[in-house]
Structure 1
Amino acid sequence: MDDLAKENLKRCLAIGMIILAVFVIECAMGVKMTPPLIPSLTPVFGVKFGIVFLLLLIGYCYYFNIRGGFWWIIGIWIVVTPVYFTGIGEFFRHPASMHGADWVVTGNSCLCALAIGISVLRGKL
């Protein structure tokens, strides 16, 4: 694959990651002021989805040789995970949204996708 095609694929996949992450956050997870828009999707986007999404992000960073993406993943998991368990995370979570490991794994994976996708589109990665 030539460089231009690879760069275009990288940018298209970044847009797809952002769209999927926003969809999951808004439709299945919800935020403080609004419950999930489609509550029936909440069981679909649980721990299994979060792990698969994270593995796809790692594969994306590996394939396109995005070393900064790995640091985004590690940083988000190290910084954000304790927030969920200290009770501060309850400030961001709607009572009708996901709980426990679903919230942590899926939330972190979506935040990683947003960080990496936006950084790729801005030309930072």
Structure 2
Amino acid sequence: MKHKQQRRVLTLGSNVIKPFNANEVNANIQRALNDFKRPDSILIKMGGGQEDQQEAMMFLLSALGASFGLILIILMIQFNSIGKTFIIISEILFSIIGVFPGCKHFRDDYYYSNDGRRYYSTGGGSGT
């Protein structure tokens, strides 16, 4: 038992063994904690890997949004047209949409590539 900001804090920890999935175990623990009856003065909070994962996800989503916005601005400045910008963005979107069903149909992993052709074809190139 430790004290943080004049509150008693009890920390529990464990390792997840091989056949189990850490995310599933954490979801089961969270469900059990939600069903646990406790007084209002007690706060139960899960931390550790979940906090790091959530923080990384929020950062990556904000970086994705910022980069997409920057791409839109650059395309609008370059082509001096909002319509052409959305046509280009839709072409990229349809190219990606076309690659994933093809990989699923041929039971190919979309990330598997020896020479980077799949990434190039995802970007709209010929792949050769």
Using the size of structure 2 for normalisation, the TM-score is: 0.29
Instruction: From the CA coordinates, give the structure whose radius of gyration is larger.
Output: 2
Q: Which has the higher helix share?
A: 1
Higher strand content, 1 or 2: 2
Say which structure, 1 or 2, has more relative contact order (CA 8 Å, 6+ apart). Answer: 1
